């Protein structure tokens, strides 16, 4: 899929806004009131499988999900491992 520069700039602006908000001390304090103890750990990396999912439409990009889990990465690793034998059979 090709995405225009205007849409990319809009997605960048949306991501920057989300990241500014979640860094606000008041936001962190409010979110931590409801978070389990495990969520209070502050890792060195911001995220390994962090992704912002957008749908593109007539009104521009719409943020539909902030994906913070490794499920997709794990699934892709399994699928890649499973596809190697099939790919090797088709080598000339």
Q: Are the C-beta atoms of residues 54 and 62 closer than 8 Å to each other?
A: yes
pLDDT digits (tens, 9 = 90+) for 24-46: 999 999 999 999 998 888 888 77
- E strand or H helix at 52, and its extent? strand 51-57
- Reading the block at residue 87, the tokens are 């790919």
- Reading the block at residue 27, the tokens are 């936001």
17 vs 47, which has greater pLDDT?
Answer: 17
For 31, residues 6+ apart whose C-beta sits below 8 A from its C-beta are 22
56 vs 70, which has greater pLDDT?
Answer: 56
**pTM (global) more than 0.85:** no
Residue among 66, 76, 71, 62 at smallest CA distance from 46: 66
Q: What are phi and psi of 45, to 5 degrees?
A: -95, 145
13 vs 44, which has greater pLDDT?
Answer: 13
């Amino acid at each position: 899929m090709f995405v225009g520069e205007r849409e990319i700039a809009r997605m960048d602006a949306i991501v920057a806004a989300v990241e500014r908000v979640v860094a606000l001390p008041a936001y962190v304090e409010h979110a931590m009131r409801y978070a389990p103890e495990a969520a209070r750990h502050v890792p060195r990396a911001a995220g390994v499988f962090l992704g912002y999912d957008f749908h593109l439409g007539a009104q521009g990009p719409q943020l539909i999900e902030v994906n913070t889990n490794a499920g997709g990465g794990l699934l892709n690793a399994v699928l890649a491992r499973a596809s190697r034998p099939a790919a090797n059979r088709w080598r000339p």
